[in-house]
Structure 1
Amino acid sequence: MARLPYLDKADLAPSDQDLLERNINLFRCLVHSPGGARAHHALGHYIRHRSRLDPRLREMAILQVGWLARSPYEWSHHVKIGYDFGVTDADIRAIMDETAGRPTTLEPAAKLVLRAAREIAAGPGASAETFDALRAHLDDERLVDLVITVSFYCAVVRLLATLEIDVEPDYMPYLEKYPLPQD
Structure 2
Amino acid sequence: MARLPGTDGAGDIAERIRERRGGTLRPLDRMLLHSPPVADGWNSLLGAVRQRMTLPADIRELVVLRIAVLNRAPYEWAAHEGDARAAGLDDRHLDALRAEGASTHPDLDERRRAVVAYTDAMTRDVHVPADVFDALRAHFGPAELVELTVTAAAYSMVSRFLVALEVELPARTGG
> Do they superpose with TM above 0.5?
yes
Q: Which amino acid is the alignment partner of residue 80 of structure 2? A: H
Confirm whether residue 64 of structure 1 aligns to residue 70 of structure 2.
no
Q: Which amino acid is the alignment partner of residue 167 of structure 1? A: L
Q: Which amino acid is the alignment partner of residue 7 of structure 2? A: L
1:4-42, Cα deviation, whole Å (9 max, x unpaired) = 211233xx23x2331344321000110111110111111
Secondary structure of the residue aligned to 2:25 is: coil
Confirm whether residue 6 of structure 1 aligns to residue 6 of structure 2.
yes
Q: Which amino acid is the alignment partner of residue 2 of structure 1? A: A
Among all aligned residue pairs of Structure 1 and Structure 2, give the percentage whose two residues are the same amino acid. 31
Q: What displacement does 1:125 show? A: 2.9
Q: Hey, what does 1:99 align to over in structure 2?
A: 101
Kindly tell me the number of residue pairs found equivalent between the two proteins.
Answer: 169
Q: Pick closer, same or farther for the CA change 1:124–1:103 going to 2, 3 Å.
A: closer
In the alignment, the residues of structure 2 paired with residue 89 and residue 51 of structure 1 have an alpha-carbon distance, to the nearest angstrom, of 26
Q: Hey, what does 1:25 align to over in structure 2?
A: 27
Q: Pick closer, same or farther for the CA change 1:90–1:57 going to 2, 3 Å.
A: same
In the alignment, the residues of structure 2 paired with residue 102 and residue 132 of structure 1 have an alpha-carbon distance, to the nearest angstrom, of 16
1:45-103, Cα deviation, whole Å (9 max, x unpaired) = 11111111111011001100000111110111111221222221121012123636763
Secondary structure of the residue aligned to 2:101 is: helix
8 Å Cα contact 1:98-1:104 kept in structure 2: no
Q: Hey, what does 2:52 align to over in structure 1?
A: 50
- TM-score normalized by the length of structure 1: 0.85
Structure 2: unaligned runs, 5 residues or longer = none
Q: Hey, what does 1:113 align to over in structure 2?
A: 115
4+ runs deviating over 6 angstroms: none
Candidates 10, 13, 16, aligned match of 1:16? 13
Aligned CA-pair RMSD: 2.0
Q: Hey, what does 1:180 align to over in structure 2?
A: none
Q: Which amino acid is the alignment partner of residue 25 of structure 1? A: P
Q: Pick closer, same or farther for the CA change 1:101–1:85 going to 2, 3 Å.
A: closer
Q: Pick closer, same or farther for the CA change 1:164–1:103 going to 2, 3 Å.
A: closer
Q: What displacement does 1:170 show? A: 3.0
Q: Which amino acid is the alignment partner of residue 16 of structure 1? A: I
Structure 1: unaligned runs, 5 residues or longer = 174-183
Q: Pick closer, same or farther for the CA change 1:100–1:136 going to 2, 3 Å.
A: closer
In the alignment, the residues of structure 2 paired with residue 165 and residue 75 of structure 1 have an alpha-carbon distance, to the nearest angstrom, of 13
